[in-house]
Structures are given as C-alpha cells and as structure tokens.
C-alpha cells in the first residue's frame, strides 16, 4: 500500500505523541519503524497485506450507540522467522478523529493479546497508516547497510566470473 491507497482515507491521522500514548511507551514505536524497513519496497510503498472489511454488519457488530466501526486486517511477516506470519486486526471508528478513533486491536502473536498498550506488529500498521504515510522524507532505518551488503555481493559475483 502507499499513501494513495483508495478506501483507507478514514483511518485517523495521528501525531507522534498519540503513537507513544497508544503503545504506552516508545519501544513499539521504534520497532514499527524497523518493521517498515523490512516491508518497504524501493518505490516507497509499504508492503503489508491489508483487507478492509467492506461490511462489518456481516460480523454482527453494526452501529452500536452511534459507533460506526470498520475492521482493518493486516498480515505482517515476522522479522525473526521468515515462516512466521502474524495477523493484526484493528477496529476503527469512521466518524471520530485522532486516537479516539481506534476502538481496539488484536494480534495473533504471543504478546498481541494484551489489553494495555500493543505489540510491535499492531503498532507497525497504526504507525504507517496514521503517521508514516503522511511524512515527506520517510526512510527505513539503516538503509545504508543494504547498499554496503549489495555492493559486497556484486564484488563477489564479479570475482567468480
């Protein structure tokens, strides 16, 4: 996805302070940037699978006391194991702005079931959707290391030829 992805414009815009408050600290926010670095492509698009459920009424939630939620589901690959995939669910209120628009979250990882704060997988989606995609010069952390590694690999390939 990138900032222009259709149908995601009602995800709330968040400040850096909102992210820290939601995560109950800075650790998950810092990890979110690392997850961004793992999932971003060269063209700047952030690669996560996202499915916005078009009709949450199918899940028997519907409008409750003036709340009109929509469910965002993301698929995040673990940074530690290439075989491990985590599923993230975020319930968002359409008519509300800021941090109050995020009604709840869930992640299939071990720490994703917490009720206070959130895991890094949840924060990586909230970080990008609410803050990161609106930044002009967003770069993945340690991007220069990728160039060094690729340069070394190219040199080894030239020597073998």
Q: Is 143 a domain residue?
A: yes
Whole-number pLDDT of residue 112: 79
Predicted pLDDT of residue 149: 47
For the chain, the domain total comes to 1
Q: Is residue 61 part of a domain?
A: yes
What is the tens place of the pLDDT at every residue in 71-112?
888 888 887 777 888 999 998 888 889 999 999 999 999 887
45 versus 135: the higher-pLDDT residue is 135
Sort strands 69-77 and 49-52 into parallel, antiparallel or unpaired: antiparallel
| 133: three-class secondary structure by DSSP | helix
The radius of gyration of the chain from alpha carbons, rounded to an integer in Å, stands at 18
Environment class of residue 56 by beta-carbon count within 10 Å: exposed (0-12), middle (13-18) or buried (19+)? Answer: middle
Domain span at residue 144 reads 16-160
The answer on pLDDT for 56 being more than 90 is no
pTM reported for the whole predicted model: 0.75
Q: How confident is the model at residue 113, as a pLDDT?
A: 78
Q: Burial, 10: exposed, middle or buried (Cβ in 10 Å; 0-12, 13-18, 19+)?
A: middle
């Amino acid at each position: 996805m990138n900032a222009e992805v259709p149908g995601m414009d009602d995800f709330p815009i968040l400040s850096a302070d909102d992210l820290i408050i939601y995560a109950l600290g800075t650790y998950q926010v810092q990890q979110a940037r690392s997850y961004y670095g793992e999932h971003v492509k060269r063209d700047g698009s952030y690669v996560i699978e996202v499915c916005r459920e078009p009709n949450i009424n199918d899940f028997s939630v519907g409008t409750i006391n003036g709340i009109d939620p929509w469910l965002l589901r993301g698929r995040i690959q673990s940074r530690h194991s290439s075989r491990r995939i985590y599923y993230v669910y975020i319930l968002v209120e359409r008519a509300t702005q800021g941090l109050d628009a995020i009604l709840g979250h869930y992640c299939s990882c071990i720490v994703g079931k917490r009720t206070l704060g959130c895991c890094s997988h949840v924060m990586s989606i909230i970080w990008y959707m609410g803050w990161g995609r609106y930044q002009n010069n967003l770069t993945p952390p340690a991007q220069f290391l990728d160039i060094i590694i690729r340069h070394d690999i190219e040199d080894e390939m030239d020597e073998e030829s």
